[in-house]
Structure 1
Amino acid sequence: MRNTILELNKINFTYPGAEQPVLQDVDLRLGEGDFIAIIGSNGSGKSTLCKCFNGLIPHYYTGDFSGEVTVCGQSADGKSVAELSKRIGYVYQDFENQLVRPTVLDDVSFTPLNYGFTDYKERGERALALTGLSDLRHEFIWQLSGGQKHLLALAGALAMDPEILVIDEPVAQLDPQHARHIYDILQRLNEEHGKTIVVIEHHAEFIADYCKNVVLMDQGKMCWQKPVREALSSVQELLELGIYPPDVTRAAWLLQPDDQKSKLLPLNAEEGSTRMTLRQDAKETLPIGRMQEQLPIAAKEGNSIVQLENVHLSYRTIHKVLHPVLNGIQLELGQEESIALIGNNGAGKSSLMKLIAGIVRPTAGTVKVKEMTVNGLPPERLSGTVAYVFQNPEEMFIEDSVRKEIAYYLKARKLPDTDGRVDEMLKAFRLSELAERDARLLSGGQQRRVSLAIGAAVRPAIMLLDEPTANLDISTKQEMVHVLETLRNHVKTVVIATHDMQLVSEWASRIIVMHQGRVIADGTKDEIFADGLLLRRAGLAQTQLMELSRMLGLPRICISLEEFVSLVEKKEVAAIHGSR
């Protein structure tokens, strides 16, 4: 039994003005060297719980608080956030707000300097080495990628050499390769340096591969604390709460006979391939991948809505060096298409969409939308034709109610029948009951629906969505597929930039793969997802079901859970092995 490093007893907390407590009688115990995931749907109390660890609750976030917190054997009562933060490092969901100095080394050394440590620079250098950022020590913060900024926020917490590290959404907005890199670093900190790691996480695949234990939260209550395999094998219970275990785990659960539902289940494709056995004569061999570049898909004659002709985009760095972002983009987007832009962080997806929206202008080449040349055109001229929905929906909110938010953009454009259009959008995006609520105080999924309603209200020809499922739990992500389907009734063409392969597989009719500012593939779901080498080159990853399809020798790569289960049943599963 590990020594207890953090203990919470009978924790209750209610925010000012709230009718219901956000935490109710929570008892939690963390052992030294644990790697624990806290899961639950949006609003279940996960982040609030973790803010109790380092005294942010009750010292910074005021409200009704009761209960006892013990850190490293000492009561936290009477200790300030500053005192507790020496032992508990915290990386917040909005981690960029933790970066406060202009250069990497200045920033990572900032906290130990403020605590008066004479070796603050040595601490900073050590933290950079642990996170693999040493070569970037003299870079300016704004020159870093999203993944590098996230690692820098982690390094800043590590500079104090805390016993416990809490990371809220470690891989939000990161491509799969950068996400796995961050988890590899967390694993090394846990196993080689003895750090106790706590992650708030929605991605069950990462929980399965890296975590040791899982805490389930629901409506402010802690339901249980279990070892990771037992936790993720509780499929029925998790699904009832809108939490999705790994696809392989769900597939094995669905394929099990009813009398074996209590078995512990496989958590990844490798385990799935050993525990699910097809009849030998049912197996086929699928190709590993082609790495064959698909030619760009041309829009049907008269159907083109966007044309990019040899488009380049560069910007000057602080050192006056020209940095290329897009290199010779040649694309046509047609009407009635559902297009997914995929690729690793820094591939140029957001820049491409901003060019189409007129937010930035190309260094060379021509961008046309509905035969109108966009180059240098003020974005306001395009606002009725192109709607760009930002990655952070709250950036679009300026009024004090959802109804006013939607109406504002309609009135600004002097569009007719404002009230009728607002009511139509409230109904279409299931916002009627939230119409008088302040959009900034809604959940992440609700805010996303508001931002889409704002964009759809002006009935643009094309809507551009940047990471529409970022920071959403898996249940809310599933809901986004239905919301995007709703958009089809109001917008001719929808383009999303995303790392969410599940969303792409369920929604997109066309996939454009970007890498280092170029389009390296353009095709259908079947063409793109069958090419494992292409996905790896673009910093992406096949889903578990795609990997398992290949390992089991199914006749085609399966994209959805329903397709996989149906195909496996047809091929006749010889055995589903499990362990009690």
Structure 2
Amino acid sequence: MALLEIADLHFTYPEDTEQTLAGIRLAVRQGEFVVLCGPSGCGKTTLLRSMKSELAPVGRREGELRYMGKALHEHDPYFLAKQIGIVQQDPDNQIVMEQVIRELAFGLENIGVSTESMRRRIAEMVHFFGMEDWLYRNTSELSGGQKQLVTLASVLLLQPRVLLLDEPTAQLDPVAAKEFLQLLRRLNEEFGLTVIMTEHRLEELLPMADRVVVMGSEGRIRYDGTPRGLAGKLEDGEMGEYFDYMPSLVKLAVSLKDKGWIPIDPEDACLSQATAIPLSVKEGRAWLERYPFAATADRVAGSQAKKTRVPRSLTANDSASRAMKTLLECRGVHFRYDKSSPFIVKQLDFSIRAGDFTAIVGGNGAGKSTLLQLLSGLFRPQLGTVKFAGKHVDSVKERELRERIGYLSQNPLAYFLHDTVEEELQRAVHRSRHPNPSQRMQTLIERFGLEDVLAKHPHDISGGERQRAALACVLLAGPEVLLLDEPTKGLDPLMKQTWGELLQELHHEGLTIVLVTHDIEFAAQYAKCCAMLFDGAITAEGPPATFFSENYFYTTTINRIVRERFPEALTYKDVLDQWLVPVSLS
């Protein structure tokens, strides 16, 4: 018998004419690790929240959800609250207490756990997550990734039987994301915890999942089966519309077959049909050895040229960028949130020239978001100086800073004050510096695919849709500098590509862009310069090809697979189009 069963579920939000969920049938057994994936707005979050009675969305619902053989509404709410835990997409919507230790104790206090048991559970969980150093910090001072870990720990303290997660790795750095997923797998394997999670980033997740459920834009399930079964369908030419949603390794393998390239030993009995498409780095390395690839001479020469070029002056719009002035500058900057806390940013020297397109990476809590807020003028350093266009930010009028520097934070809901997305965009039009703001608004609506959400309340749309709508509002203001904090959070691969192309267009038009991101693939593909923040200061920077090829964790999956042969290949397209040619077997 299924532990959690969904029978012919239909759901429509109030005043909507189209169903968000259309005939969903899903049965999850005890101990399964299930991944929900699909385009932004396809209903993944709605489906996940429908499994949690307290958070079930309001609207017209048909069908039934059963837990342990009984309908959800027939269970005692207190029982379900302990049995089914959820980690939401935005931890700010889940954290309620001001201090970390109080947040951890909050749920236990509400279910009446004794003080002795509470202390034991918290001590065990804090040690397991390595949260000792920030146990007494204010939750408002934590990074997005740290908040996500606090939220997960708070839910696990209740010892649920089913864990629901809505894009939990979106705000985690690459190392923390790997540790987070390995933790989930360990909980799943060692304790039988049933895991159901939505996710766009499948690189690390697909190899460990028992089942993958792919949802279509019409709110229906398009595939329900094993990860290898899904890869096999792509290999056979089925479900081609979901190609861009797959991990880069799967896309590389499928693309090679489409090009007609075959392995040296296609009849190798050790490699069965079931494992023809590799899913993990280990499988990918073994699989690559079977293909007769070699780098062309001109590619090798190009690789050497890349290694010797000047990091940023040659990666801006053109060579004239050598003479471009410094637009944003930090010198000897120190910042901390209060006198009792350590400096988050210390002895920081960093500059952004007009025309730069820079991605900043680093661990959770390294100070990346704080650095963006210092550059935007929202925070003032305790020591050191921050300058904009050669002027100290304290001497620049607040209105001028807001007009010339566009800033998008991690929480897009902070940008919405009106009842519909369209009202927010119209409000942004009125304060825009763009010469034709109405036309610009229409262009952004079409590029970001916001047509279907214009009449909706910002709280009733998906996280990815909120992110795109908030970005459109920021761009409508017509800034000359764009500061973006985790901008790809909640975006599906196609929207990332669309948005990356838009950022490239804006960059070529002269917009200076600085983004903080944990999305290594996005930074590698679109940024012109990458920098790493560590111990409060910039510790390394350079063009993506050399920056990521020298990293062990902060690099792409493709680079980890092919770096021995082609150290500067970062994406599957690099492997296909720029670095490799088939070797003749004759």
TM-score scaled to structure 2, two decimals? 0.84
The alpha-carbon distance between structure 1 residues 422 and 447, as it changes in their structure 2 partners (threshold 3 A), is: farther
Q: Deviations over 1:252-308 (max 9, x none)?
A: 111126699997410123212212236779489x9xxxxx99998569564113252
In structure 1, how many angstroms separate the alpha carbons of the residues matched to 2:128 and 2:542? Answer: 40
**What residue is the counterpart of 1:41 in the other structure?**
39
Residue of structure 2 equivalent to 1:247 = 248
Counterpart Cα distance in 2 of 1:6 and 1:487: 47
| Distance across 1 between alignment mates of 2:563 and 2:434 | 54
Q: Any idea what SS the aligned residue of 1:570 has? A: strand
Change (3 A) 1:278 1:184: closer
What's the counterpart of residue 430 of structure 1? 446
The residue aligned with 1:187 is: 185
What amino acid maps onto 2:228 in structure 1? Answer: R
Q: Name the residue aligned to 1:577.
A: none
| Rounded Cα–Cα distance in structure 2 between residues aligned with 1:282 and 1:208 | 29
Find the counterpart in structure 2 of residue 357 from structure 1: 376
Mark the CA change 1:408 to 1:242 in structure 2 (over 3 Å): closer, same or farther.
Answer: farther
**Structure-1 separation of matches of 2:100 and 2:386:** 36
Q: Give the CA deviation at 1:15.
A: 2.0
Tell me which moved more, 184-193 or 480-489. Answer: 480-489
Q: How many residues align?
A: 552
Unaligned stretches of 5+ residues in structure 1: 287-291, 575-580
- CA offsets, 1:429-462, max 9 Å, x none? 5269479635725554554444344333443322
Matches within 5 A, 1:501-540: 501-533=520-552, 536=553, 540=554
Alignment partner, residue 89 of structure 1 = 85
Change (3 A) 1:88 1:116: same
The Cα shift of 1:39 comes to 1.2
Read off the aligned partner of 1:225 and give its amino acid letter: D
The residue aligned with 1:74 is 70
Q: Is the 8 A contact 1:393 1:448 kept in 2?
A: yes
Query: In structure 1, the residue corresponding to 2:7 is in which secondary structure?
Result: strand
Query: In the TM superposition, what is the alpha-carbon distance from 1:469 to its structure 2 partner?
Result: 0.6
Correspondence for 1:12: 10
1:197-238 superposed Cα distances (whole Å, 9 cap, x missing partner): 111111111222322211122222222321222224433555
1:459–1:491 Cα contact (<8 Å) kept: no
Superposition map of 1:329-368 within 5 A: 329-368=348-387
Deviations 1:101-150 (A, max 9, x none): 33334322322322234344444445445544467554443454433322
Deviation at 1:20, TM superposition (A): 2.0
* TM-score normalised by L of structure 1: 0.85
Cα–Cα, structure 1 residues 147 and 510, in superposed 2: closer, same or farther, change >3 Å? closer
Secondary structure class of the residue paired with 2:283: helix
Whether contact under 8 Å (2:485, 2:516) holds in the other structure is: yes
| Pair 1:23-2:24 in alignment | no
Equivalent of residue 155 in structure 1, options 140, 153, 156:
153
Match of 2:316 in 1: none
Counterpart for residue 312 of structure 1: 333
Secondary structure of the structure 2 residue equivalent to 1:324: coil
Give the C-alpha shift of residue 239 in structure 1: 4.5
* Contact 2:355 2:512 survives alignment (8 Å): yes
Whole-Å Cα distance in 2 between the matches of residues 439 and 464 of structure 1?
26
* SS of structure 2 residue aligned to 1:366: strand
Please name the residue that 2:103 is paired with. 107
2:563 to 547, 550, 556: 550
User: Is residue 309–residue 366 contact of structure 1 (8 Å, CA) maintained in 2?
Assistant: yes
CA distance in structure 1 between the aligned counterparts of 2:213 and 2:391, rounded to whole angstroms = 54
Does the Cα contact within 8 Å between 2:174 and 2:518 map onto a contact in 1? yes
Compare 175-184 and 81-90 and name the one that shifted more.
Answer: 81-90
* Shift in CA distance, 416/248, structure 1 to aligned 2, threshold 3 Å: closer
Unmatched segments (≥5 aa) in structure 2? 267-272, 301-306, 314-319
Residues 234 and 204 (structure 1), Cα distance of their counterparts in 2 relative to 1, 3 Å cut: farther
Matches within 5 A, 1:458-497: 458-488=477-507, 491-497=510-516
- Amino acid in structure 2 at the alignment position of 1:563: D
**Helix, strand or coil for the counterpart of 1:199?**
strand
Contact 2:293 2:582 in 1 (8 A): no
> How large is the Cα RMSD of the aligned pairs?
3.4
Q: Secondary structure at the match of 2:207?
A: helix
Q: Secondary structure at the match of 1:89?
A: strand
Compared CA separation, residues 195 and 334, structure 1 to 2 (3 A): same
Moved more, 103-112 or 173-182: 103-112
CA distance in 2, matches of 1:233, 1:479: 27
What is the CA distance between 1:160 and its match in structure 2? 2.3
**Structure 2 CA distance for aligned equivalents of residues 136 and 358 of structure 1:** 26
Distance 1:278 1:571, change over 3 A: farther
Residues 184, 76 of structure 1: alpha-carbon distance in 2 compared, 3 angstrom cutoff: same
Q: Measure, in 2, the Cα distance between the counterparts of 1:564 and 1:348.
A: 34
Structure 2 residue identity aligned to 1:208: L
Structure-2 change in CA distance of 1:77 and 1:424 (3 Å): closer
* Counterpart residue number, 2:208: 210
Q: Which residue of 1 aligns with 2:324?
A: 303
For 1:116, the equivalent position in structure 2 comes to 112
Residue 284 of structure 2 is matched in structure 1 by: 272
Q: 1:172: which partner in 2?
A: 170
Structure 1 residues 435-454: aligned runs within 5 Å: 437=455, 440=458, 441-454=460-473
The residue identity in structure 1 corresponding to 2:187 is: L
Q: Provide closer, same or farther for how the CA distance between residues 465 and 453 of structure 1 changes in structure 2, counting only shifts above 3 A.
A: same
Q: Return the offset for 1:565.
A: 1.6
Instruction: Name the CA distance, whole Å, in 1 between partners of 2:129 and 2:332.
Output: 36
CA contact (8 A) 1:403 1:422 kept: no
- Between the aligned partners of 1:439 and 1:198, the Cα distance in structure 2 is 27
Q: Give, as a single letter, the amino acid of the residue that structure 2 aligns with 1:361.
A: R
Q: Is the 8 A contact 2:144 2:410 kept in 1?
A: no
Q: Secondary structure at the match of 2:333?
A: strand
Does the aligned pair in 2 maintain the 1:16–1:64 contact within 8 Å? yes
Name the CA shift for 1:255/1:465 in 2 (closer, same or farther; >3 Å): same
Distance change (3 Å), C-alpha of 1:408 and 1:76: closer
Please tell me the residue identity of whatever aligns with 2:568: I
CA distance in 2 between counterparts of 1:139 and 1:331 reads 28
Task: Give the distance between the partners of 2:17 and 2:426, measured in 1 at CA.
Answer: 30
CA contact (8 A) 1:123 1:160 kept: no
CA, structure 1 residues 400+411, in 2 after alignment: closer, same or farther (shift >3 Å)?
Answer: same
Residue 70 of structure 1: how far off its partner (Å): 2.4
- Contact 1:215/1:224 (CA < 8 Å) preserved in 2? yes
SS in 2 for 1:4: coil
Asked whether the 8 Å contact 1:397–1:439 carries over to 2, the reply is no
Instruction: Give the fraction of aligned pairs with identical amino acids, expressed as a percent.
Output: 27
- Give the corresponding residue for 1:224: 223
Other structure's SS at 2:147 match = helix
Taking a change above 3 Å as real, the CA distance of residues 492 and 143 of structure 1, as seen in their structure-2 partners, is closer
